Amino acid sequence: MTENPKPMKKHQLTLDARERLVATGIRQVDSFGPELITAQTDLGQLNIKGEQLHIESLSAETGDLLVTGKVGALSYTRSAPSSSFFGRLFR
């Protein structure tokens, strides 16, 4: 039995004055802190680096993410296969 892949979500980034980031098409947030937020998209892992970063809102249904703070860099890396809690812990 083959599993149907999830349909791709539309992914878009909007950055206002490096202080407010709106991202759509977010599948999940892997980690977050005041200097780094990592999130999974259909295009790879999105890395948001900066200072005093804060997730204002995240909708699991629509995949919309709102981040405030001083955004210093946005980058993508290949998505790693999902691993268990202990697999991520001992990486």
Q: Which of 30-34, 52-56, 72-76, 85-89 has the least mean pLDDT?
A: 85-89
Nearest-angstrom CA–CA distance, 91 and 45: 17
Q: What is the pLDDT of residue 89?
A: 56
Residue 77: Cβ within 10 Å count: 10
Q: Which residue, among 62, 42, 67, has the nearest Cα to 52 in the 3D structure?
A: 67
- The class of domain 27-77 in CATH terms is mainly beta
DSSP 35: S
pTM: 0.78
Q: What is the pLDDT of residues 37-70, one digit of tens each?
A: 999 998 899 999 999 999 999 998 999 999 999 9
Instruction: Tell me what pLDDT residue 79 has.
Output: 65
Question: What is the C-alpha separation between 13 and 6, in angstroms, rounded?
Answer: 21
